[in-house]
Chains A and B, each alone.
Chain A
Amino acid sequence: MEILNEMTIDFLSKSQNEAFARVVVAAFASQLNPTLDELADIKTAVSEAVTNSIIHGYENNLGIIRIKAILRESEIEIWVQDWGKGIEDIEKARQPLWTSKPELDRSGMGFTIMENFMDKVEIESTPGKGTIVKMYKTIKNKK
């Protein structure tokens, strides 16, 4: 599918930027004329990925988070990348309710929610180097 538009933003891993990130991606995605429900899904998935980078990737230290979004005819592709500690065991991290930080009242539902709200979620991670989460969602254009 032909690329219609593309954007990249870098921002600091501060918790204030969770809201910023999801609003930016939703505003960009609105070019595809999604429904309000589709926009809510995208915002939720972005929020989960960015929160993961802040809490788990950088463990609340400052680092850069990069979001790239690509719009195609009827699909949005979103990358959320950090250069933090990486994920040791991706399969475990994907499991519902599993969390590496239970002491912080984390629910362990982040990836489960991303998978529920998007069509496909891919995780690429190298311990000590960082993580990229790639998410894809079909947008059924309103006519």
Chain B
Amino acid sequence: MGVTFKVYNDILIVNLKGELDHHMVRMVNEKIEEYLMRHALKKILFNFKHVNFMDSSGVGMLIGKYKSLQKIGGKVGAVNLSKQVKRIFEISGLFNIISCYNDEIEASEKM
């Protein structure tokens, strides 16, 4: 379980690893806040490649990030959604506010 960061152009890429439940969300949120305090970035791209499980706690985290970045003209995107994660995105309407891309390159061009 963990989270690593990479900055590509002006986008913060958040590589998630593990199961995105309430337990992991608390840790991830803390680390993102910490990172954003030191680096002023307005775009976050979540990479779900190593996430095989997500529940409504993950949805809450993504909506929270969307709301706070929207206020400063930023954006939230996602790549590499697994089948289970896609279903959660569909049911909760996340596709309406979070753009999904095929890969990081496409995201960096369109975000």
| Chain A residues with a Cβ under 8 A of chain B | 15-16, 18-19, 22, 37, 40, 43-44, 47-48, 51, 54-55, 104-110, 112-113, 116
User: Could you tell me the distance between the alpha carbons of A63 and B57 in the complex, rounded to whole angstroms?
Assistant: 20
0/1 interface trace, chain B 70-111, chain A, CB 8 Å (1 if under):
000000000000011000100110000000000000000000
> What is the CB-to-nearest-CB distance from A94 to chain B, in angstroms, rounded to a whole number?
13
Inter-chain contact B21/A19, CB cutoff 8 Å: yes
Inter-chain contact A104/B91, CB cutoff 8 Å: no
Inter-chain contact B22/A18, CB cutoff 8 Å: yes
Total contacts A-B at CB 8 Å: 65
B interface, over-half SS = helix
Taking A47-B55, A104-B60, A112-B92 as given, write out 11 further A-B residue pairs in contact, using a Cβ cutoff of 8 Å, ordered by the A residue number: A15-B23, A18-B23, A44-B84, A48-B55, A51-B55, A105-B63, A106-B57, A106-B60, A109-B92, A113-B91, A113-B92
Q: Which residue of B lies closest to A39 (CB)?
A: B84
Inter-chain contact A116/B63, CB cutoff 8 Å: no
Q: Which residue of B lies closest to A111 (CB)?
A: B56
Inter-chain contact B55/A44, CB cutoff 8 Å: yes
> What is the CB-to-nearest-CB distance from B58 to chain A, in angstroms, rounded to a whole number?
8
Assuming the contacts A15-B23, A47-B21, asked whether A113 and B55 have C-beta atoms less than 8 A apart, the reply is: yes
Contacts of B64 in A (CB 8 A): 105
User: Could you tell me the distance between the alpha carbons of A19 and B57 in the complex, rounded to whole angstroms?
Assistant: 13
Q: Is B49 interfacial (CB 8 A cutoff)?
A: no
Contacts of B22 in A (CB 8 A): 15, 18, 51, 54-55
Inter-chain contact A18/B92, CB cutoff 8 Å: no
Q: Which residue of A lies closest to B56 (CB)?
A: A109
